[in-house]
Structure 1
Amino acid sequence: MNPTLLRALVPATIALAVGGCGRSPKASDTSATEDRGEKKAAPGDPQIAVLSGQQISDAGIEVTRPTVGGVAGAIELPATIEGDPQGVQVVSAPIGGRLVSLTRNLGQAVGRGDTLAVIESREAASLNAEVEAARARAALASTNLRREQRLFAERVSPEQDIVAARTAAIEANIALRLARQRLSATGGNGGALNRIAVRAPIAGEVIARSATLGQQIPADAELFRVANLAKVSVTMSLVPADAGRVRPGARIEVTSAGRHQEGRVTLVSPILDETTRLVPVIASIDNAGGTWRVGENVSVSVLLPAAGNRSVAVPSAAVQMISGRPYVFVRTATGFKATPVTLGRTNGGSITVTSGLTGDERIASTNSFTLKSELGKSEARDED
């Protein structure tokens, strides 16, 4: 190329390059972003609600796993709350006498072995005296045995004397143990020779008290009823046709006055009630928080499992509608993710999920509306 022409072209090329570098990048950047598909999420799209463990606890959000196995239907019927038969104990007077102390009132908590009452009587004096006499005889027999052992070692007493002393010591100790056991069966010492203490057989709460201070009572008279109400029973009656579809271990849902709780069937009686000709059914539910009261009437749904069905069910409170679609909040490492689901039939307080969940997830089962509100806040921040 001609050197003169080359020298003329170099300045023009440099000017064009500088002009290109100073051009505004907005148009090209927008095109590139659109080509990559990195668009801003539209309002209403599911997002992740970032919450710490403390925030989840403060919001009262419970995390559970969905129920896998499916439900074929539910039997709705009335029922009654009763105390657990293994958790209710009648406290009776072991001997007759006069009540000189009552330490518990209705509703008060008791521990196992706590003194509930003290009875004063001649029989109590006899039992305590028998223990004291047996203790004295056992101490004397032990002293005699030691003396005979010493004399036998010194070759003063014959062997038959030490054998007799050993036998007497054994019999005295047996008599002492028997006297102590007889006293222990009545409740133990009540602070004086003529008194015994009546003690609580289990830990729980006093639910009945039929004793009055100073009252003269016979042996075996009922004084208190103590119940451990951490678990309660739900009793109901089914017609034989329905009872044939229920098995021990079946899930139930108990509802009353805004309260809801799940439990398990523990007994389906093989015998009809003679009066009603119905099948008694008993279920057990947790009552550690004192939610349910003995004698209360409730509504129960007995959930019937569908054989061979692997569908997933979640509590109704776990489902939230977002932009017209149902979502369930699945727990993540940083909070919860709103996962779209397809719903099936409703059974009691549960809803079948036909797609969207596998059953292995951990989901927000209560107060999920709080998470929905958190998503709304996130969307508002994104728009700002």
Structure 2
Amino acid sequence: MTEQNLTIARAHATCHATDGRDRRARPVPRVSHDALTNTPESFSMALIVDFLSKRYRLTTVLLAVVLVAGCGDGSPGSAAEGAGQDTHVAAQKADADHEDGEDHDDHEGGEDHDEHGDEERIVRLTQKELAEFGIEVRTAEGGAVTVTRQLPGEIVFDPDLVARVTPRVQGVVQEILKRTGDRVQQGDVLAVLASRELAQIKSDYLSAQARLDLVQATFERKQRLAEQQITSEAEVLESRQALREAKLALQLAERKLQALGLSRQQIGELGGQGEAALARYELTAPIAGTVIERHLTRGETTAAEADQPPFVIADTETVWAQLTVYPRDFGAVHAGQKVTVIADGGDLTAEGTIDYVTPQMREATRSATARVVLDNPDGRWRPGQFITARVQVAQAQADVVIPESALQTVEQESVVFVLTDEGFEPRPVRLGRRAEEKVEIEAGLRPGERYAATNTFTLKAEHGREALEGAGHAH
């Protein structure tokens, strides 16, 4: 047995002796002398791998790789050396290919791709197309930015211009001359009532007037008799006292009629009226305006103590905009500030000035109220209508101010389409303060540059279309 074969046998026995899972000694497999002397080295190594695979399967895989690599010249060293050289050559080839690819991208297609991307950002429109789409080009410039606060509110009647018309005496409704929606003037008759109470007061007046006439005649007669010394001075004094009392009674009756709404002229005409006219009571309009409510029917009895007034008249040529001022706005809102009032829906606006802010808060809403008086000659503002008011609380100057219509959002960025020599470029901008449909541009647009100010959605749509076409071309 050669020295090399003996060494292999010893290693075989040692592996059995040091097995961690079975500490007992195991016999060395019998190998014939011919097998050990006549078997080549590769076969001896195979015996060792076969034996170790029963205990160390992972190690077997690694040894198999080494054996396969070494099959070239029969030497393990030369196999490892060959594998290393092959690996090194492959790595050098891959690096060279990668560098060639980078050079190709940089020098052949990279710049062309960037230039193509820049061209995709430009939107080109002719002057005719700009006019067709209504795109207005303006020059960026500075201006004032008015800071506003938005307050909710409601249109209400001016309380001084609303009249709740009620009769001053109880009576039965005989005629109704006006209805809801009718325009009336001050003094117009709204309805006619028949009132026994009024008839009695008128009768008292006429009686007082008749008694005054009688007492006046008696006094004058006694005064003439006293001058002729036919009657005594005491009778003259008594007659004078009766005259004074009759005058007071007539004045009292006249005041009662005036308190019921009769004018001096109407009172003076009572003497020529018939009996039926004494009970006639005319319910008249105290102000000019529009009948907005009527709670009266023919034949019913009505009085001043009725739950609802028979007529409600309002002058709507002037209305109030009542604005709700919450605590966060107390320091900013005050009388004298200009206000833009906008009706819900945005189809109606008006300009005004705050003329009063309540010093106390309403308990239910914990808010104060600001009042704006609005002219309403055509009746467009209707009480009960909800509104939003923009109160101008401050004003500041900015280097660049553009209308909000110039802004668009592209890829989640606010952009302005700036006009260049090639066309419209969507340029990202940083926004500042906003007020009254204007916005301050803090960065991205310089004074003097030209930009699209109106109908810019067309440019955004065109930019998106070109971007999609560019993406399809790239694929």
TM range (shorter): 0.5 to 0.7
**Counterpart secondary structure, 1:192:** helix
2:314 is equivalent to residue 240 of structure 1: no
Counterpart-to-counterpart distance in 1, 2:229 and 2:145? 88
In the other structure, the counterpart of 1:108 is 182
8 Å contact 2:145–2:438 — kept in the other structure?
no
8 Å contact 1:108–1:205 — kept in the other structure?
yes
> Which of 46, 57, 79 is equivalent to 2:153?
79
> Which of 347, 355, 359 is equivalent to 1:270?
359
8 Å contact 1:253–1:348 — kept in the other structure?
no
In the other structure, the counterpart of 2:198 is 124
2:392 is equivalent to residue 299 of structure 1: no
Deviation per residue, 1:164-213 (Å, 9 max, x gap): 33332232222222212212222337971122222222121111111111
Counterpart-to-counterpart distance in 1, 2:356 and 2:170? 39
Indicate the structure with greater helix content: 2
| Map 1:335-354 → 2, pairs under 5 A | 347-348=435-436
Shift of 1:112: 1.8
In the other structure, the counterpart of 2:290 is 205
Larger Rg: 2
Amino acid in structure 1 at the alignment position of 2:337: A
Change (3 A) 1:192 1:348: farther
> Which of 292, 311, 314 is equivalent to 1:224?
311
2:220 is equivalent to residue 146 of structure 1: yes
Q: Which runs of 5+ in 2 are unaligned?
A: 1-143, 271-275, 398-402, 404-432, 440-475
Q: Which runs of 5+ in 1 are unaligned?
A: 1-69, 311-315, 317-344, 352-384
**What TM-score, normalized to structure 1?**
0.58
Change (3 A) 1:168 1:109: farther
Amino acid in structure 2 at the alignment position of 1:155: Q
8 Å contact 2:193–2:283 — kept in the other structure?
yes
Indicate the structure with greater strand content: 1
Change (3 A) 1:177 1:73: farther
8 Å contact 2:169–2:197 — kept in the other structure?
yes
Counterpart-to-counterpart distance in 2, 1:181 and 1:156? 39
In the other structure, the counterpart of 2:164 is 90
2:281 is equivalent to residue 196 of structure 1: yes
Deviation per residue, 1:189-241 (Å, 9 max, x gap): 79711222222221211111111111122432211111111210111211123
Counterpart-to-counterpart distance in 1, 2:251 and 2:436? 59
**Counterpart secondary structure, 2:278:** coil
> Which of 208, 214, 218 is equivalent to 2:299?
214
**Counterpart secondary structure, 1:90:** strand
2:258 is equivalent to residue 184 of structure 1: yes
8 Å contact 2:146–2:436 — kept in the other structure?
no
Change (3 A) 1:245 1:175: farther
Shift of 1:304: 2.1
In the other structure, the counterpart of 2:447 is none
Change (3 A) 1:348 1:169: farther
Amino acid in structure 1 at the alignment position of 2:333: V
Counterpart-to-counterpart distance in 2, 1:305 and 1:101? 58
8 Å contact 1:186–1:197 — kept in the other structure?
no
Change (3 A) 1:349 1:187: farther
Deviation per residue, 1:236-278 (Å, 9 max, x gap): 2111231332223332221234322222223311221111111
Amino acid in structure 2 at the alignment position of 1:296: Q
8 Å contact 1:95–1:220 — kept in the other structure?
no
Counterpart-to-counterpart distance in 1, 2:351 and 2:331? 21
Shift of 1:349: 8.2
Which shifted more, 87-96 or 248-257? 248-257
Shift of 1:303: 2.1
Shift of 1:350: 10
**Counterpart secondary structure, 1:294:** coil
Change (3 A) 1:170 1:111: farther
Change (3 A) 1:262 1:156: farther
Change (3 A) 1:128 1:76: same
In the other structure, the counterpart of 2:130 is none
> What is the root-mean-square deviation of aligned Cα atoms in Å?
3.2
Change (3 A) 1:128 1:277: same
8 Å contact 1:253–1:349 — kept in the other structure?
no
In the other structure, the counterpart of 1:166 is 240
- Overall identity of the aligned pairs, in %: 32
**Counterpart secondary structure, 1:100:** strand
Counterpart-to-counterpart distance in 1, 2:352 and 2:230? 77
8 Å contact 1:129–1:193 — kept in the other structure?
yes
8 Å contact 2:166–2:303 — kept in the other structure?
no
Amino acid in structure 2 at the alignment position of 1:76: Q
Counterpart-to-counterpart distance in 2, 1:113 and 1:146? 41
8 Å contact 2:145–2:434 — kept in the other structure?
no
In the other structure, the counterpart of 2:375 is 286
Change (3 A) 1:146 1:293: same
**Counterpart secondary structure, 1:275:** coil
